[in-house]
Structure 1
Amino acid sequence: MLIKNGLVFTEKCQFEPLSVLTESGVITGILPADAMIKYGGEVVDASGCYVVPGLTDIHFHGCAGHDFCEATVEAIGQIAEFEYSQGVTTICPATMTLPDEDIDEILRAAGEYSKNPVDDGRAKLIGVHLEGPFISPEKCGAQKKELIQLPSAEKLRAWQSAAGNLIKLVTIAPEVDGAIECIRQLSESIRFSLGHTACGYDSAVEAFGAGADHITHMYNAMQPFNHRAPSLIGAGFDTEGVFAEIICDGVHVSETAVRAAFALFGDDRIILISDSMEATGMPDGEYQLGGQRVSVKGNRAVLSDGTLAGSVTPLADCLRKAVKMGIPLESAIKAATINPCRSIDEDKNYGRISVGKAAHILLLDREDLSLKAVYTQ
């Protein structure tokens, strides 16, 4: 395939008028826009479009009426189809705090799905985000407090085996007993994200020193960033190489706080996530998340007590909202493409338009950033 006449988001994270060649799902050439070549394959005219990498969501729970925690190959397939239709070409869906046997089933289903993936028209499953059960009861959010348990490296190893090594990210509260040792033992093979935590600055710094390098949905389910008690957010700011997720759906985080996050961490470390749940792409009504009833109206999803329960906003819409909030387009694209891939060690294959990378490419309208096409072949 030859994609021409568009503005290409290069590996330098800037737009240039270039042409992109792909073959058998791999990017094989990046050419000057005026290069004269003879090409007998499919030609795509990207006039009026930005040519950007496929998006990667490393923290979401479901969409299109399905939840990753249904623990079936069929549900994962339906989720992957919807994500692809929204421009998300690689996914790392999240679990919830559930009984051990339920987590076992979810991970086995993910492992089974990854053995026989259907890549045509579906986002590629590149990992699993274990969001719970190793969190703080004080900051459990929409997760079931009674099912929270202490971190266990032994249990994580067993779950990783069940998943076929798909677990890429584990959310953990560093202040709970066993958390630091768990991070220290497994951070060479699994990325740890600090979240759903009441920890202070010192505890977070200790966890980052032990090997954690990620913050789960910054601002949400953690202590606030205070001028005398800088908390997890301040520790992440002070620690080089720490990534920070942010839900840019216009509900979870204010516009000012989104701009502040990019200013604090820079666009190399911010990761846009959707944190979407099964109601995404569905009408208002009653749904579920982690075994709890969720009421959805407009762009808000809440438990019966009013607690926010994930979002109903696809990642591409989060990107568009970030731009409307004043985040430069280039920074927003980095935060939804290469940054999440870097954060789970998947940047060798995904997240950039570069020779040798997977040909996961989107065309976005230059006027309103609407999705015009998705290519992965």
Structure 2
Amino acid sequence: MIIKNIRVYKEDRQFHKGEIAISSGVFTERLEEGGEEILDGEGCYAIPGLIDIHLHGCMGYDFCDGTCEAIRKIAEYEAEVGVTAIAPATMTLPAEELEQILSTAAAYKKTQQDVREADLVGINMEGPFISRAKKGAQDETHILPCSIELGKRFVKASAGLVKYMGIAPEESEDAAAFIREMKKDVTVALAHTNADYQKAMEAMEAGASHAVHLYNAMPPYTHREPGVIGAVSDTPDAYAELICDGVHVHGAAVRATFKMLGAERIILISDSMRATGMGDGTYTLGGLEVEVKENQARLAADQALAGSVTDLMGCMRNAVQNMGIPLEEAVGCVTCNPAKSLGIYKSYGSISPGKKGNVVLLDEGLQVRAVIKDGVIRVNRLTGAGTEEDPGKRGRNV
């Protein structure tokens, strides 16, 4: 396949006029024309397939449903909107239930071959080692102190798919030991934590290197109490997740974060829950009732934010169009950065020879015009290509 008449997002994080060649499902050097499929990109932006490292579900399904069907339905929807690789997040649930969810994901991963589905490239364990004070939409009855033995069980149940494991370091005297041991297997993240700056820095010095949805479920940043946010800023190799759905973090704070951390350390996530792609109504998240109205999902019990109802493509679009983040920076935060954080940059995250042929074509309004997954056209809304409904218009995409 050759994709012509496009502006290609390259490893220098800039757009360049050119074309893309894909052969046997991977990007390759320029092919000689002679019978291969030619796709006219109509001047679109061509970006790598997006990678969401923190989502819970969509279209009525949740990763913690613990079924292959749920994972498949989530993966199908994500691929339709241009997210071609996913690392779904777990909720705070009983340990045995989490092990079952993880083992189901491992079984699914072994058999996944359908190009219609986003690739399952990891799992983000948001709980159960979190703080009651910052539990957010997590069920506090299942919160546990961090445990190396249990952490190892989770990794084993997932057959190594667990890539991130969250922890509230202030909740355990053994947090540093947990971090030093578990960082051999996973990226240890600060998640749903009430840690102050000193405790957060101790965790970073022990080897934690990631922050789950920065600003949300953690102490606020102030000039005398910089907290987790200040510790992340002072740790040069730490990545920070950021939800840009227009609900979780104000646009001014998003712009300030890009100035503080730099675009290469920020990973945009969706944190989407099962209502994404659907309408207002009552849903569940981690066994708790959630009310969805317009662009917000809140726990019925206390109105705490309960994830988002905007997929990652919608979040990226919102960051650019409504928050003033340059397109080149936003694209890097949903492609290169998550791939590097996951340790899969050799195969994902950029349009480079030898990597998986996952491409999304966007028009000037950043609407999806085409999705190519493993070199196969997954969605095509280019001129003369039919009138397939944009799945994003079924939901809350900005």
**TM-score of the superposed pair, with normalisation by structure 1:** 0.97
Measured after TM superposition, the shift of residue 205 of structure 1 is 1.1
Q: Which residue of 1 aligns with 2:382?
A: none
| Match in the other structure for 2:126 | 131
SS in 1 for 2:146: coil
Measure, in 1, the Cα distance between the counterparts of 2:99 and 2:33.
53
In structure 2, C-alpha distance between the alignment counterparts of 1:201 and 1:119, rounded to whole Å: 45
> Which residue in the other structure is 1:84 paired with?
79
User: Structure 1 vs Structure 2: percent identity of aligned residues?
Assistant: 50
State the partner residue of 2:213.
217
Residue of structure 1 aligned with 2:228, choices 205, 227, 232: 232
Query: How many angstroms apart in 2 are the aligned matches of 1:247 and 1:209?
Result: 26
Q: Return the alpha-carbon distance in structure 1 between the equivalents of residues 152 and 185 of structure 2.
A: 10
Find the residue that maps to 2:75 and give its secondary structure: helix
Matching residue within 349, 361, 372 for 2:359: 361
Aligned residue among 66, 69, 75 for 1:71:
66
* Aligned counterpart, 1:313: 310
Distance of 1:184 and 1:251 partners within structure 2: 35
Question: Is the contact made by 1:69 and 1:290 (CA closer than 8 Å) also made in structure 2?
Answer: yes
The question of 1:374 aligning with 2:371 is answered: yes
Give 1:119 shift: 2.9
Match of 1:327 in 2: 325
Q: How much does 1:114 deviate?
A: 0.3
The within-5 A match list for 1:280-359 is 280-304=276-300, 305-324=302-321, 325-359=323-357
* Amino acid in structure 1 at the alignment position of 2:353: V
Gaps of 5+ in 1: none
In 1, distance between residues paired with 2:283 and 2:87? 22
Superposed, which structure 2 residues align to 1:190-269 within 5 Å? 190-269=186-265
Aligned counterpart, 2:2: 2
User: Of the candidates 172, 175, 188, which is equivalent to residue 170 of structure 2?
Assistant: 175
Secondary structure of the 2:217 match is coil
Using the alignment, how far apart are the partners of 2:114 and 2:281 within structure 1?
31
- CA distance in structure 1 between the aligned counterparts of 2:99 and 2:268, rounded to whole angstroms: 28
Q: Deviations over 1:43-91 (max 9, x none)?
A: 1111220010000000010001000000001110000000001100000
The 1-side partners of 2:137 and 2:207 are apart by 27
Structure-1 separation of matches of 2:44 and 2:114? 24
How far residue 159 of structure 1 moved from its aligned partner, in angstroms, is 1.4
Quick check: 1:24 aligned with 2:24? yes
- 1:100 is matched with which residue? 95
Deviation of 1:20 after TM superposition, in Å, equals: 1.0
Deviation at 1:202, TM superposition (A): 1.0
**Cα deviation code 1:148-206 (max 9, x no counterpart):** 00111111111111111100011111112122211100212200111200001111111
Counterpart amino acid of residue 74 in structure 2:
I
For residues 313-341 of structure 1, the C-alpha deviation after alignment (integer angstroms, 9 at most, x for no partner) is 01000001000210000000001111111
- Which amino acid counterpart does residue 274 of structure 2 have in structure 1? E
Q: Match of 1:39, SS?
A: coil
In structure 2, C-alpha distance between the alignment counterparts of 1:161 and 1:197, rounded to whole Å = 25
Alpha-carbon distance in 2 for matches of 1:141, 1:84: 29
Quick one: distance in 1 between partners of 2:143 and 2:72? 29
CA distance in 2, matches of 1:307, 1:248: 17
- Runs of 4+, deviation exceeding 6 Å: none
- Structure 1 residue 104, shift from structure 2 partner: 1.1
Asked if the contact 1:244/1:271 (under 8 Å) is kept, the reply is yes
User: Are 2:15 and 1:15 equivalent residues in the alignment?
Assistant: yes
The CA distance in 1 between the partners of 2:201 and 2:47, in whole Å, is 35
SS, match of residue 213 in structure 2 = coil
Question: How far 1:39 moved relative to its partner?
Answer: 3.4
Which residue matches 2:388?
Answer: none
User: In the aligned structure 1, how far is the partner of 2:253 from the partner of 2:169?
Assistant: 24
Give distance in 2, aligned partners of 1:124 and 1:368. 26
Structure 2 residue identity aligned to 1:330: E
- Shift in Å, 1:19: 1.3
| Structure 2 unpaired stretches of 5+ | 376-398
Cα distance in structure 1, aligned partners of 2:299 and 2:185: 35
Is the 1:150–1:179 Cα contact (8 Å) retained in structure 2?
A: no
